[in-house]
């Protein structure tokens, strides 16, 4: 097993180092699936250029309406460019907020799902919370397996600053998910 890379700060300055550790660990473990949060598509594009073509890459931008209106965070031309490179682009509700956030925003309180999200943020940071979330979303869409290890990449804003090796799970059996290795993460929250 390798060492965890710790970054002093969150953010996109860490993207290149995350991509390097993901590429290295894919080769060492024979990982065939990587899922990455990628709102604009830039992180996924950089990953697609670094990873061997034998690795299936899934990019997960924000869902339509995340920032209001009906637009997604990824522009149609960026989505098309990724798909032409063989990257699967998944746009769907966020596994660790989705409908629960709407209820909280409307009526107050906190949902069970939001407690899970906040717990992940406190113990391992925003980027790893996002990595767990996109892994569940990709598993639910049938784009990554739940019976073998995959790598998930997340960030705390733009770019990538966290990566994990995990055995993904579907939402219906979320507590079967296993984070097996933390490859990289910031030492501090935003």
Give the CATH number for residue 134.
Answer: 3.40.1380.20
Number of domains comprising the chain: 1
Tell me which residue has tokens 């799970």. Answer: 169
Give pLDDT, residue 96. 81
Alpha carbon of 16 to those of 12, 56, 113, 114, 129: distances in Å?
8, 19, 31, 30, 20
CA distance 163 to 35: 10
How sure is the predictor about 112, in pLDDT bands with cuts at 50, 70 and 90?
confident
Residue 10's Cβ-side half-sphere holds a number of Cα atoms within 13 Å equal to 14
Structural domain that includes position 145: 5-64+73-186
Taking the alpha carbons at both ends of the chain, their separation in whole angstroms is 28
Task: Encode pLDDT of 71-95 as tens digits.
Answer: 788 899 999 999 999 999 999 888 8
- Report residue 64 as tokens: 């339509």
Across the chain, mean pLDDT equals 92
Residue 19 has pLDDT above 90, yes or no: yes
Beta pairing partners, 154: 162
Give pLDDT, residue 111. 84
pTM strictly above 0.75 = yes
């Amino acid at each position: 097993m390798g060492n965890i890379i710790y970054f002093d700060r969150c953010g996109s300055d860490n993207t290149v180092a995350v991509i390097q550790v993901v590429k290295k660990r894919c080769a060492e473990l024979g990982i065939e699936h990587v899922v990455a949060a990628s709102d604009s598509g830039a992180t996924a594009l950089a990953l697609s250029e670094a990873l061997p073509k034998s690795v299936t890459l899934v990019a997960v931008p924000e869902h339509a309406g995340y920032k209001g209106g009906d637009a997604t965070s990824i522009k149609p031309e960026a989505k098309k460019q990724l798909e032409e490179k063989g990257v699967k682009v998944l746009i769907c509700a966020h596994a660790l907020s989705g409908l629960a956030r709407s209820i909280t925003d409307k009526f107050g309180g906190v949902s069970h799902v939001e407690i899970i999200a906040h717990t992940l943020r406190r113990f391992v940071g925003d980027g790893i919370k996002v990595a767990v979330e996109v892994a569940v979303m990709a598993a639910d869409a049938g784009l990554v397996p739940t019976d073998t290890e995959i790598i998930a990449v997340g960030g705390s804003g733009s770019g990538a600053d966290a990566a994990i090796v995990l055995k993904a799970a579907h939402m219906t059996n979320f507590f079967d998910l296993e984070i097996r290795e933390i490859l990289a993460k910031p030492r501090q929250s935003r």
